[in-house]
Amino acid sequence: MKINSTPYLLFILLVFFGQESMAQIPQVPAELEFADLIVRINPQARREIQLDVDAQYRNPSYFKVKQDRVNLYMPIIERELRNAGVPVDLKYLAIQESSLIGDAVSTSNAVGFWQFKQGTAEEVFLRVDNQIDDRKNIVSSTKGAALYLQKHNNTFDNWMCALVSYQMGLGGAKAYFGTQYNGKQIVDVDRNTHWYFKKFLAHKIAFGSQTTSFTSSGQYMVEERVQGPTTLAALAKKYGVTEKHLEEYNLWTKNGKIPGDRVYTVVYVRDGSAPIQQAIITESKPVSQSSNSTTTSTSPAYQQANSFPRISGNTTKASQPDQITVNNLDGVQAAQSTTQSTFSDRVGIRENKLRRLNDLDKGERIEAGEYYYTEKKNASAEVATHIVRSGETLWSISQKYGIKLSALKSKNRIRKDRDLKVGMVLNLQEHRKRGEDIPMVKINNPAPTREVMASEVSTIPTTNQPAINTSAPNNTTSSTSKITHTVSSGDTLFAISKKYGVTVNQLKSWNNIGAQNIISIGQKLVIFRP
């Protein structure tokens, strides 16, 4: 009798390829590192976690879709966690919570990338209303999650407990853990370990193993910082994508409109590989050799300044104390120009403390729109260097990055503003060696910042924008000269006022600038000087 060998061959092939596939699934180790902890996993817990790891790979097509989302969103998540001082390992929690689906909704009505309920979202300064849902914004929600995790870790001094508290709440985690893990650097995982932490470890192993390093999906995420009011329809034309595409990746704006209360991050996807930006300073050039210096206008070191100062929190109440952080430090925005005494009373700290925290001279005025710190600045910045731009001072640079003025001067062996030159590369972390020249780079016409003002979008109606008043003020005499300043990347009203020796209020009055203090690249400001 002839035997049909086809089913048998199929069986052999399935077994072979099944084993080949299983060989690619990462295996749970007996010990691994998580945040600043050593995690030791006993055999029973390893088997339990391995089941969750295997489940991630059960459907290859679904795993690939999730992997592609990880490739797109992880660079943003890693950056925001790092900026907040939260271990980057916590990034796997976003995969566990939402599979990186922006409008994911749980059975308990938690929403977004990090699965916040509305009350918790508002606690970490996320906006949730009929216009905006920051829980669906990858940048805003990650900042909120980082703040939440950091706050809880301050209680436990143990990132495992902080992570579990993300699911249980701080009160529940305190009752569950007590103080047994506070400050511990080694955690033993067994059958009694909280299920949420074991599930997290499964995601960390599944998506963080060397055997599953992600290949490029042929796409990358682009971020644009946008100051409204504007619309996704207008921005779609500017970025060369469809409105539908922007809507798909920016579910946080419920009606396609971006309000003007603060800067929002709009994201969209491009085909290809993310541009690799090379460092532009390959060797130190003395100041005297500026003619041979490197040319830059789009380098990372130059463009990174556009994202500072980093403002988080309830920006709609930025002028009130305890509402925002400036570079992860408590701060406040001046609503109007005033004296130090009046401002310190308004924000609830002593005048001499205000001066000390912000490196202010006695009698120096508080300028409208500027950010001031209400806690001590740092001895170094989040980034290593800063390229000096036109109009900047040592003080304005120290405020931009939240670094003490004395530390900035010390690191660069520079004491006076008159010694600053456009293109100088200042150290913000390491001290410059004695006798070492300050490098210089040549700055061409700077490329526009990614911070898009409404006036840059030609499709936005401008009927509500006041016309620029080019006439001199009533008290201007014939000896007054009129100057036109074209706003360039990095300019602020305060920096421009310092450059020309006028006040911020004068600039605003002469140019009909509103309370939001918004100026845009290319805008021409009229300045009257005696």
pLDDT tens digits, one per residue of 342-375: 999 999 999 999 999 999 988 888 988 889 999 9
Helix (H, G, I), strand (E, B) or coil at 245: helix
The 3-state DSSP class for residue 69 equals helix
In the block, tokens 């099944």 appear at 18
Phi, psi at 189, each rounded to 5°: -105, 125
Q: How far apart are CA 291 and CA 470, in angstroms?
A: 38
Joined together, the tokens standing for residue 67 give: 């992997």
Query: Which domains, and CATH codes, for the chain?
Result: 23-212 (1.10.530), 219-271 (3.10.350.10), 287-443 (3.10.350.10), 465-529 (3.10.350.10)
Under 8 Å between Cβ of 441 and 216: no
User: What separation, in Å, do the N-terminal and C-terminal C-alpha atoms of the chain show?
Assistant: 111
Residue 448 burial class via C-beta count within 10 angstroms: exposed 0-12, middle 13-18, buried 19 and up: middle
Q: Is 39 helix (H, G, I), strand (E, B) or coil?
A: strand
Best CA proximity match to 175, nearest among 166, 183, 165: 165
Comparing 76 with 212, the larger pLDDT belongs to 76
> What does the pLDDT read at residue 476?
39
Alpha-carbon distance 437 to 433, whole Å? 9
pLDDT of residue 529: 64
Give, as one character, the DSSP assignment of residue 283.
Answer: S
* Cis, peptide link before residue 309, omega less than 30° from 0: yes
Question: What is the rounded distance in angstroms from the CA atom of residue 102 to the CA atom of residue 113?
Answer: 5
CA nearest to 335, candidates 129, 150, 514, 195: 514
- For position 314, what pLDDT does the model report? 79
Here the tokens at position 441 are 């780079």
Residue with token string 């090379």: 278
Greatest mean pLDDT range, 78-92, 244-258, 314-328: 244-258
Cα separation, 299 vs 524, in Å, equals: 25
Mean pLDDT in the chain?
Answer: 79
**Tokens representing 19?**
């084993």
Contact 220, 72 (CB under 8 A): yes
% of the chain exceeding 70 in pLDDT: 77
